[in-house]
Amino acid sequence: MAAVAETLETVQAANDGGYKWGFETDIAMEFAPKGLSEDIVRFISAKKNEPDWLLEWRLKAYAHWLKMEEPEWAAVSYPKIDYQDAYYYAAPSNKVVPKSLDEVDPELLRTYEKLGIPVQEQQRLQGIAVDMVFDSVSVATTFKDRLAKEGIIFCSISEAVQEHPELVRQYLGSVVPQGDNYFACLNSAVFTDGSFVYIPKGVRCPMELSTYFRINAKSTGQFERTLIIAEAGSYVSYLEGCTAPMRDENQMHAAVVELVAMDDASIKYSTVQNWYPGDSEGKGGIYNFVTKRGACRGARSKISWTQVETGSAITWKYPSCMLLGDDSVGEFYSVAVTNNHQQADTGTKMWHVGRNTRSTIVSKGISAGQAQNTYRGLVKISPKAVGARNFTQCDSLLIGDKCGAHTVPYIENRCATAKVEHEATTSRIAEDQLFYCRSRGLTQEEAVGLIVNGFCREVLKELPMEFAVEAQKLLAISLEGSVG
Amino acid sequence: MSAQPSGTQAFLARFEGLREHLPGGRTPWVAQLRAEAAELFGAAGLPGRRIEAWRYTDLAPIAQAGFSEALTLVRETPALPPMRAPYRAVFVDGRFAENLSLLPGSYRCGSLAAGLDGAQGLLGALAEKLPLVALNTMLFEDGLLLDLPADTDGGVLELVSLASHTGRPIAFHPRHLIRIGDGASLTLIETSTGPAGAAYLHNPVFEIAVGAGATLSHVRIQREGRAGFQLSTVQAAVQAGGTYDNFTLNAGARLVRNEIHAALLGPKATCHMNGAQLAGDGQHADTTTFLDHAAPDCASRQTYKTVLAGKSRGVFQGKILVRQAAQRTDGYQMNQALLLSEEAEIDAKPQLEIYADDVKCSHGATVGALDEAQLFYLRARGIPAEQARAMLVQAFLVEAVEGVTNPIAQAALAEATEGWWEREAA
C-alpha cells in the first residue's frame, strides 16, 4: 500500500516537474513554421540535437525528394496534397487535454465500450492525467528493467540517435533507402520520432514490445520512423498501434519501418491501425502512406508481418520482405477493411534472393459502403533463389453493391526450381449464411460480424492473443451500418 | 531512355507516304478513321515498358527493325499448308490471295479491301484506343470481311496467314472484321506461319461481333518464323446468350503479344479463353487478356499454360473486370507456367477488378518446374528421360487444349505441339 502511494507520489512529482520544464523551454518553439524547406529540415535536426551525419542524411533525402514525383499507380484517389501547407514539426502535449471522460466525444466512448477497453485505459487513450501516468510509468519502468537485464534496447529513435548513434548510423536507411519512394524519401528528410529496438545475439525478448507502452510515444508522429534489429538467434514480437480509435489531427502520415533479421533471428511485427477514416460522407480522415520493409539478412531468419487495417481514409501500404539469407522465411498476413468512402491499396512484396527461401501471403480484403479495396503484391524470384517457394492467397469479400474489390498480384520468376502458387477469390456474404445465423437469434450485425471474423480467421490467429480478441470486435464495429 | 522509340516515327512516316494509296485512301470515312488513328498512334507511340500493360514486353526490337510495307506483289507463292476445312481464306503478307482461297458462297466472306464500302459501321466499331490497334487502323492493307447472317451455320472456315520471303523486313497489318448474326455459328481456324529466317511483323487486329445466342469458336495457331514478330489484338463483343470461344497457341515468332479483349454485353453471354504458349530459346511469348463483364449472369473461363525452354520469356497478364451491373457473374481464370530451363523467365499478373457484390470470381496462378517424382515414376518404368519429359509437357498442356473440340482444329493443334519438346531439347 505504502509503496504504491509512494510510487504515485514520485511519478506525479516527476510528471509535474517534467511538464513545467517542457513548457518553459519549448514555449517559443512549439511549432516550426508551416511549409517544407531545407531550413525546416535543419530546424528539426537541431531541435533533436542530432549529430552532423544525420543532418546531412536528412538534407540529402530532402534534395532527392524535390526531384521525385508523387506516385499515381495505386488505385486510390485523393485531392492533391499541398506539402507546403503543413507543419513538419510540432511538439506534442500542447493540446487541450480533457479533464474527465465526460468531456470526451460520446461516440468514441461507445466504441471503447464495445471493444471492452477498461475505464483506466480509456482515460489513458484520451490522455487523461494521473492514473494513466501512474499506470504506464510503473509498467514501463518494470519493463525497462527487465529488458535492460537482457541487453535489449527499446527506446524512441531520437533517444537512440543520442545514446546508440553507431547502431542507428549503421542500420538507418539500410533496408528502405532514402530514395526508395516518394513518401519514404519525405520521411527520411523530416521524420520526428518512432521506435528503436535492438535485440542482442541469442536473446529471446521476454515480452511483446509495443508502442503502446512506450511512454515517449504519447502522440504518434506524422512521420514515424521505426528501426528494429534482431541479432543472430534472437526473437522479438513487436506490436504497433492499438485497437482503440485514434483521433489524430494530422491529415497525412508517411511512416517508415525497417526491420533487420540476422542468422536464425525472427521478428514478428503486428499492426492494428484504426485511425480516423473520415465520416460516412467521406469527409476528412487520415491519408496513410507507409513504407514497411524487412530484410532477412541471415540464414534461416524470419520476418512475419501481420496487419489489421480498419482505419484511415486512404491506406497505401506494402509491408515487404527481402529474403536474402538462405532458408529465410517471409510472411504477410493482412486484413483490410474499408467502409463508407475509405480506399485501401495494400499488399506486400516478397523478394526471393537466397536459396530455399519461403514466403506466405494471406490477404483478406473486406469492402463495404462505397469503399475500394485493392490487394497489390509482388512475388519476385531471382535466378539464384534455387528451391524458393511462395504461396499466396487473396480473398475479397464484398458487402453492398457500390463498393469495389480488386486484386493485382505480380509474379516474376527467373528460377526454374522455384515454385509459386497464387489463388484469389471474390465473393459476398451469402444470404443463406446470414439466414442461418439470424434464425439462431443473432442480429443482422452480429451475424455479419461472425461471418467476417470467420473469413479473417487465418489472419487473426497470427495476432498475439489480446490483440486478436480486440481486433475481432474491431472488425464488427468497422462494418457497422453496412448491412441491412 | 528515349521517350519514344524511333520505330514510331518510322511508322508515321510510312503512313504519310502511303495514305492516298492505302485501301479507302480516297474514301472520306476511311481516310478519317486512318487520320484519327495516326493521331492516336503518334501521341502514344509504340508502347514502352513504362506503360503498365507493357512492363514485361519490350518492343524495342520492333522499333529498331525498320519495317516497311510489303508493297510489291509476291512472285513466288509460299508453301501452303494442306487444306483441312471445306473453305479457306488465304492472306499473303496481309493481302487477300484470291487464287489460293476457296470461299463459301452462301454468305459474305472475302477481302476487306475489295469490300470496304460494306464495312462502314463495322470497321473501327469495336476498336479500342490502343496504340497497336491504331497502328493497324492507320496502315491496314486488307483483311477478312465476314458477315454471317442470323441463324446460319457457317461451318468451319480456315484463315491462313503467310509471310513471304522478301529479303527485307516487312510489316503487314491485316484487319479482320467478323460479324456473327443472332443465333448463327461458325468455327474459325486461323494459322499464321512465315519463313524461318525472315524478320517481319504481323500485326493483325480482329473486330468480332457475336450476336445474341450466336457462337463463334476461334482457334488460333501461331507458328510464325522464329525471326518474325506477331502483335495481335482480338476485340470481341458478345451479346446476350452468345458465346465466344478463343483458343490460342503461341508456338512461333521471336516475340509475340497475343492480346484479347472480350466484352460480355448481354445477360447470359459466355466467353472461354484458353491458350498454350510454347517458347524455346530466344523466344518471348506474351498473352494478355481482358475480360469485361458488363452484363448480369455471364460466365467466363480462362485457362492458360506456358512452357518455357532455353533462354525464353513467358508473360501472362489477365484482367477480369466486373462492372456494377454484372451481378451474378461467374468468372474463373487459371494460368500456369512450367519452366524447363534455368534461363527461362515467367512473369504473371492476373488481376481482378470487381464492382458488383453478387459475384463468384477467382483466379489462380502457379509456376514451377517438372515434378521430379513424376519423372522418376516414368523413368522407373523404363521410359527414357527426354521422352518422359515430353510426356509430362503434353500432360501439362491437356487442360488448356481439351477445350478445343473441333476435330480439324485438334489436328492442326496436334501438329503444332507434338514433338515440340524433342525439337527444343535437341
Per-domain boundaries in chain A: 151-430
- CA dist B406 and B51 (Å) reads 38
- Going by pLDDT thresholds of 50, 70 and 90, the confidence category of residue A144 is confident
pLDDT at B261: 97
Pairing of strands B87-92, B95-96: antiparallel
Nearest CA to B154 out of B216, B209, B98, B196 is that of: B216
- CA dist A293 and A348 (Å) reads 9
- Going by pLDDT thresholds of 50, 70 and 90, the confidence category of residue A3 is very low
When pLDDT is averaged across residues B385-407 and rounded to a whole number, the result is 89
- CA dist A407 and A346 (Å) reads 10
Residue B58 has pLDDT above 60, yes or no: yes
pLDDT, one tens digit per residue, over B320-341 is: 999 999 999 999 999 999 999 9
The number of beta carbons lying within 10 Å of the beta carbon of residue A322 is: 24
Which cell is A80 given?
492533391
Q: Which residues pair with B156 in a beta bridge?
A: B187
Comparing A190 with A102, the larger pLDDT belongs to A190
- CA dist A410 and A408 (Å) reads 7
When pLDDT is averaged across residues A269-285 and rounded to a whole number, the result is 82
Please give the ipTM for the structure prediction. Answer: 0.87
Q: Does B365 touch chain A (CB under 8 A)?
A: yes
CB B388 within 8 A of CB B396: no
State the best of A384, A392, A412, A434 to mutate against chain B, taking most chain B CBs within 10 Å: A412
Comparing A219 with A190, the larger pLDDT belongs to A190
Within 8 A of B332 by CB-CB distance, chain A residues are none
Nearest-Å Rg of the Cα atoms of chain B is 21
Nearest CA distance, B32 vs chain A (angstrom): 34
pLDDT at B2: 41
The torsion region of residue B383 among left (phi > 0), alpha (psi -120 to 50) and beta comes to beta
3-state secondary structure of A356: coil
When pLDDT is averaged across residues A451-475 and rounded to a whole number, the result is 85
3-state secondary structure of A382: coil
- CA dist A45 and A43 (Å) reads 5
Q: Which position has the grid cell 498476413?
A: A333
Nearest CA distance, A180 vs chain B (angstrom): 17
pLDDT, one tens digit per residue, over A380-429 is: 999 999 999 999 999 999 988 889 999 999 999 999 999 999 999 998 88
Within 8 A of A431 by CB-CB distance, chain B residues are none
Residue B160 has pLDDT above 70, yes or no: yes
pLDDT at A95: 46
Residue B296 has pLDDT above 80, yes or no: yes
- Going by pLDDT thresholds of 50, 70 and 90, the confidence category of residue A103 is low
Comparing B168 with B90, the larger pLDDT belongs to B90
Nearest CA to A245 out of A105, A399, A451, A367 is that of: A105
Encode burial over A54-92: b for 16+ CB neighbours within 10 A, e otherwise: bbebbebbbebbeeeeeeeebbbeeeeeeeeebebbbeb
Nearest CA to A240 out of A299, A290, A186, A182 is that of: A290
Could you tell me which chain A residue has the CA closest to the CA of B56?
A: A412
Which cell is B11 given?
511508322
Which cell is A342 given?
475509405
Could you tell me which chain B residue has the CA closest to the CA of A417?
A: B369
The upper half-sphere exposure of residue B321, i.e. CA atoms within 13 Å in the direction of its Cβ, equals 11
pLDDT at A128: 39
- CA dist A474 and A116 (Å) reads 10
- CA dist B124 and B131 (Å) reads 14
pLDDT at B118: 87
When pLDDT is averaged across residues B301-322 and rounded to a whole number, the result is 96
Q: Does B344 touch chain A (CB under 8 A)?
A: yes
Nearest CA to B266 out of B326, B187, B185 is that of: B326
3-state secondary structure of B231: strand
Give burial (CB, 10 Å; 0-12/13-18/19+) of A6: exposed
Nearest CA distance, B101 vs chain A (angstrom): 44
Residues comprising chain B, all counted: 426
pLDDT at A22: 26
pLDDT, one tens digit per residue, over A149-178 is: 999 998 888 889 999 999 999 999 999 998
**Average pLDDT, rounded, for chain B:** 92
Residue A284 has pLDDT above 90, yes or no: no
CB B184 within 8 A of CB B208: no
Within 8 A of A402 by CB-CB distance, chain B residues are 324
- Going by pLDDT thresholds of 50, 70 and 90, the confidence category of residue A30 is low
**Average pLDDT, rounded, for chain A:** 81
Task: Kindly give, in sequence order, each residue whose CB lies less than 8 Å from that of residue A283, ignoring residues fewer than 6 positions away.
Answer: none
CB B161 within 8 A of CB B204: yes
pLDDT at A195: 87
Residue A259 has pLDDT above 90, yes or no: yes
Nearest CA distance, A359 vs chain B (angstrom): 14
- CA dist A44 and A54 (Å) reads 11
Nearest CA to A376 out of A43, A23, A76 is that of: A76
Report the percentage of chain B scoring pLDDT > 90.
73
Lowest-confidence pick of A41-55, A253-267, B34-48: A41-55
Nearest CA distance, B416 vs chain A (angstrom): 25
Q: Which position has the grid cell 494460368?
A: B335
Q: Does A404 touch chain B (CB under 8 A)?
A: yes
- Going by pLDDT thresholds of 50, 70 and 90, the confidence category of residue A76 is confident
3-state secondary structure of A414: coil
Task: Kindly give, in sequence order, each residue whose CB lies less than 8 Å from that of residue A142, ignoring residues fewer than 6 positions away.
Answer: none
Using alpha carbons, list the distances in angstroms from residue B41 to A138, A459, B3, B121. 69, 47, 14, 21
Residue A18 has pLDDT above 60, yes or no: no
* Total-model pTM: 0.86
The number of beta carbons lying within 10 Å of the beta carbon of residue B282 is: 13
- Going by pLDDT thresholds of 50, 70 and 90, the confidence category of residue B30 is very high
CB contact under 8 A, B364 and A423: yes
Nearest CA distance, A74 vs chain B (angstrom): 12
pLDDT at A136: 40
When pLDDT is averaged across residues A347-354 and rounded to a whole number, the result is 96
- Going by pLDDT thresholds of 50, 70 and 90, the confidence category of residue B7 is confident
CB contact under 8 A, B342 and A408: no
- CA dist B266 and B325 (Å) reads 11
Amino acid in position A111: T
CB contact under 8 A, B366 and A400: no
- Going by pLDDT thresholds of 50, 70 and 90, the confidence category of residue A355 is very high
Which cell is B104 given?
463459301
- In order, the DSSP letters of A236-293 are EEEEES-SS-B----SEE--EEEEEE-TT-EEEEEEEE-B----TTS-S--EEEEEEE
Q: Which contacts of A440-443 are long-range, i.e. CB under 8 A and separated by 24 or more positions?
A: none
Q: Which position has the grid cell 471492452?
A: A116
Tell me the backbone φ, ψ of residue A172, rounded to 5 degrees.
-60, 125
Residues comprising chain A, all counted: 484
CB contact under 8 A, B365 and A422: yes
Residue B390 has pLDDT above 60, yes or no: yes
- CA dist A397 and A375 (Å) reads 12
Which cell is B268 given?
447470359
B357 vs A398, A413, A418: nearest CB: A398
Q: Does B351 touch chain A (CB under 8 A)?
A: yes
Which cell is B21 given?
494509296
Could you tell me which chain A residue has the CA closest to the CA of B321?
A: A406
Using alpha carbons, list the distances in angstroms from residue B368 to A323, B19, B316, B338. 19, 49, 15, 5
Report the percentage of chain A scoring pLDDT > 70.
77
Nearest CA to B303 out of B397, B231, B400, B381 is that of: B400
Assign 3-class secondary structure to B114-166.
CCHHHHCCCCCCCCCCCHHHHHHHHHCCCCEEEEECCCCEEEEEEEEEECCCC
CB contact under 8 A, B367 and A419: yes
pLDDT, one tens digit per residue, over B370-379 is: 989 999 999 9
Within 8 A of B351 by CB-CB distance, chain A residues are 406-409
Q: How far is CA A17 from the centre of its chain?
A: 32
Q: Does A411 touch chain B (CB under 8 A)?
A: yes
3-state secondary structure of B344: coil
